[in-house]
């Protein structure tokens, strides 16, 4: 594995950043997770655009322009000779003082890691998974806009730990008003009356790249999507439920907090979307 850090590639064992980097000290930075299919970075332009929007929102100046960033990422994929895998693109505030003042950080640090992707077992896609609703609430959007994909994921990590303690692979998070936001690493959809419903961004959901792609696929087969307000009641009474994300792709959910969703199996709309998603990915 060759890791890119600020213009150079390093072997995994030699890839290091300063202990004074504010990404390490304070979670001050942004990131993107990008899939590699058939040797190509999937939806790269969309991921780069979201990265720069996140950086702009927190006044973080990325030292590479968008075109240069794209070329650098593609070079990292080629250098690692990855046909299938995962890219972790990270931009930290950079090295600074022990105080939180970002002005002490003279230049942002750019890191590109190209490695393997940790996938769900195939039987999860065939049979669906069980999830729980976490007690840990999503950080309110009036504190930090959740559209910023920042390095500070402790909120999500605590919910993930709850899922593991409950014997589940994933947990869905509510905001302080009790509305559904997203899972710890994925967006969530329910099917009701033949339509797809997913939480609106203002409730605390990240606008996912895979989420948008699935909405586009659904539109091509005449299925409408609404970004709306959902509660746990809507999850429990869904006809179908699934999660979307870079790693998960489209993952059926068949049980939430012990309540069986639909007939307890991945539903027809979910299965159709999975098929069409995989066809699209392979074609591109």
Give the active site residues. Answer: 149
CA distance 6 to 110: 5
User: Considering Cα of 144, then 149, then 152, then 155, what sign does the dihedral take?
Assistant: positive
Longest dimension (CA), the chain: 57
**Phi, psi for 170 (deg, rounded to 5):** -150, 160
For residue 143, count CB atoms less than 10 angstroms from its CB and return exposed for 0-12, middle for 13-18, buried for 19 or more.
exposed
Distances (CA, A) of 56 to 11, 62, 106, 150, 268: 31, 9, 17, 12, 41
Supply angle C-alpha 258, 171, 236, rounded to 5.
40
Between strands 259-260 and 249-256, the pairing is antiparallel
For strands 170-174 and 259-260, give the pairing: unpaired
- The distance of Cα 222 from the centroid of its chain, to the nearest Å, equals 26
Residue 254 and residue 119: Cα distance in Å, rounded?
19
């Amino acid at each position: 594995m060759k890791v890119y850090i600020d213009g150079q590639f390093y072997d995994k064992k030699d890839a290091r950043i300063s202990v004074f980097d504010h990404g390490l000290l304070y979670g001050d930075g942004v990131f993107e997770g990008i899939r590699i299919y058939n040797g190509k970075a999937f939806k790269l332009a969309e991921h780069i655009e979201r990265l720069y929007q996140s950086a702009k929102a927190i006044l973080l100046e990325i030292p590479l322009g968008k075109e240069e960033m794209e070329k650098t990422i593609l070079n990292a994929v080629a250098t690692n000779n990855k046909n299938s895998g995962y890219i972790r693109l990270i931009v930290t505030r950079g090295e600074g003082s022990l105080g939180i003042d970002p002005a002490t950080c003279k230049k942002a640090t750019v890191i590109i890691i190209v490695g393997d992707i940790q996938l769900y077992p195939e039987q999860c896609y065939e049979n669906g998974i069980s999830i729980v609703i976490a007690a840990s609430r999503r950080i309110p959007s009036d504190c930090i806009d959740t559209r910023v994909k920042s390095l500070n994921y402790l909120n999500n990590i605590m919910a993930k730990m709850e899922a593991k303690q409950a014997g589940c692979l994933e947990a869905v998070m509510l905001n302080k008003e009790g509305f559904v936001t997203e899972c710890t690493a994925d967006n969530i959809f329910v099917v009701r009356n033949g339509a797809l419903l997913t939480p609106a961004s203002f409730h605390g959901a990240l606008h996912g790249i895979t989420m948008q792609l699935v909405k586009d696929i659904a539109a091509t087969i005449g299925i409408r999507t609404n970004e709306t307000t959902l509660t746990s009641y809507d999850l429990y009474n869904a006809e179908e439920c699934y999660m979307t994300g870079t790693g998960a792709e489209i993952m059926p959910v068949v049980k939430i907090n012990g309540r069986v969703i639909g007939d307890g199996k991945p539903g027809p709309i979910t299965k159709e979307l999975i098929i069409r998603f995989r066809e699209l990915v392979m074609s591109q």
